[in-house]
C-alpha cells in the first residue's frame, strides 16, 4: 500500500513539474482557428468542474486494487504526459482567454486557475486525456464505476471549452490520446490478475506465457471441453480388461 501511494505521488510530482516547465518555457505560440463550439459563451461556474479533474485521477487510483493493472495505468499516464509535453514544445499553441465577469459564480476560482496556468499548452488537452484515461481504468474494473467515471470525464471535457481554457480540437485530440494509451497499456491487462489460490494450483490466468486464461488452457487444444470433463464409466462385474478370462468361465 505504501509503495502504491509513493509511486502515485512521485508520478504526480514529476508530471506537474514537467508541465510547469513546458507551460512557461516555449517558443512562439500558434493560435488555432475557432470552431462553432469555440464561439460559445464563457461559463465561469464550470471552473468548478474543470478544477475537479485531480479528484477523478485520485478516485480511479485509490479504488484500483489490481497491482498489475495499476502499474500499467501509471505507465500509461507517464507516457501520455511525455508525449503531450513533447508536442507542447514542438508545436506550442495559445488561446485568447475572455475575462470572467466580476462577481460571477466561479469567477474567482477561474482567475486563480489562470494565474497558475499560462495560456499555452493547449493542444492536446491533458485535462481531457488524463480524465478519460482514468475513466478507462475504472471501466475495466467495474461497469458501474466506468459509467460514472466517463460521465465525470465528459463533464470535464466540456468545461475545458466553456472556461475558454482549450479549443474544441484540443478536446478531441486528448480523447484520441487517452484511447491510444488505453489500447496499448490497459487493454492487454483486461483479464484479472491471478489470485494466490490460482498461483498455488497452477492456474495463472492471463499472467501465463500463453496469454490465455486458465479455463481456456486447462483443456488441450483440439479437444472437446465437455467430452474431456466426462467422468470414466464405473466398473461393474461385467467390465473386463482385454485378454482377461470371461466371468463365470463362460466362453463368448
Residue listed under C-alpha cell 470433463: 229
Predicted local confidence at residue 102, as pLDDT = 87
- What is the model's pLDDT at position 230? 53
Q: What is the mean pLDDT of each run of 10 residues along the chain (252 residues)?
A: 87 94 88 94 96 93 92 96 95 92 92 92 95 96 95 98 96 97 89 52 42 38 50 51 52 48
Residue 248: the pLDDT is 55
What pTM value is reported for the model?
0.75
DSSP secondary structure string for all residues of 57-90: HHHHHHH---HHHHHHHHHHHHHHHHHHHHHHHH
Q: Give bridge partners of residue 31 from the DSSP assignment.
A: 94
Other beta carbons within 10 Å of 176: 14
pLDDT at position 234 is 56
136 vs 153: CA distance, rounded Å: 10
CB proximity list for 249: less than 8 A, separation 6 or greater? none
The half-sphere exposure of 203 on its side-chain side, counting CA atoms within 13 A, is: 12
* Helix residue ranges, H only, 119-203: 126-141, 143-162, 168-181, 196-201
User: Who contacts 121 (Cβ-Cβ below 8 Å, separation ≥6)?
Assistant: 19, 22, 23, 26, 84, 85, 88, 92, 93
Q: Measure the CA–CA gap between 165 and 109, rounded to whole angstroms.
A: 13
Q: Is 16 left (phi over 0), alpha (psi -120 to 50) or beta?
A: alpha
| The predicted structure's pLDDT at residue 189 | 76
Amino acid at each position: 500500500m505504501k509503495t502504491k501511494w509513493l509511486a502515485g505521488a512521485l508520478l504526480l510530482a514529476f508530471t506537474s513539474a514537467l508541465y510547469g516547465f513546458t507551460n512557461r518555457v516555449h517558443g512562439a505560440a500558434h493560435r488555432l482557428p475557432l470552431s462553432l463550439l469555440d464561439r460559445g459563451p464563457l461559463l465561469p461556474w464550470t471552473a468548478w468542474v474543470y478544477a475537479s479533474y485531480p479528484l477523478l485521477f485520485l478516485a480511479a487510483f485509490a479504488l484500483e486494487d489490481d497491482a498489475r493493472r495499476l502499474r500499467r495505468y501509471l505507465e500509461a499516464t507517464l507516457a501520455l504526459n511525455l508525449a503531450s509535453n513533447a508536442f507542447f514544445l514542438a508545436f506550442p499553441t495559445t488561446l485568447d482567454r475572455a475575462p470572467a465577469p466580476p462577481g460571477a459564480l466561479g469567477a474567482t476560482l477561474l482567475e486563480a486557475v489562470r494565474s497558475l496556468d499560462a495560456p499555452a499548452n493547449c493542444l492536446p488537452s491533458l485535462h481531457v486525456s488524463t480524465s478519460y484515461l482514468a475513466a478507462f481504468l475504472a471501466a475495466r474494473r467495474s461497469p458501474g464505476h466506468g459509467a460514472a467515471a466517463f460521465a465525470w470525464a465528459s463533464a470535464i471535457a466540456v468545461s475545458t471549452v466553456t472556461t475558454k481554457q482549450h479549443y474544441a480540437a484540443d478536446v478531441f485530440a486528448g480523447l484520441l490520446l487517452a484511447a491510444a494509451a488505453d489500447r496499448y497499456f490497459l487493454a492487454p491487462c483486461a483479464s484479472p490478475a491471478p489470485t494466490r489460490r490460482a498461483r498455488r494450483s497452477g492456474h495463472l490466468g492471463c499472467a501465463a506465457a500463453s496469454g490465455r486464461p486458465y479455463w481456456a488452457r486447462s483443456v488441450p487444444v483440439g479437444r472437446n471441453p465437455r467430452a474431456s470433463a466426462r467422468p470414466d464409466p464405473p466398473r461393474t462385474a461385467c467390465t473386463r480388461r482385454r485378454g482377461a478370462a470371461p466371468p463365470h468361465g463362460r466362453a463368448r
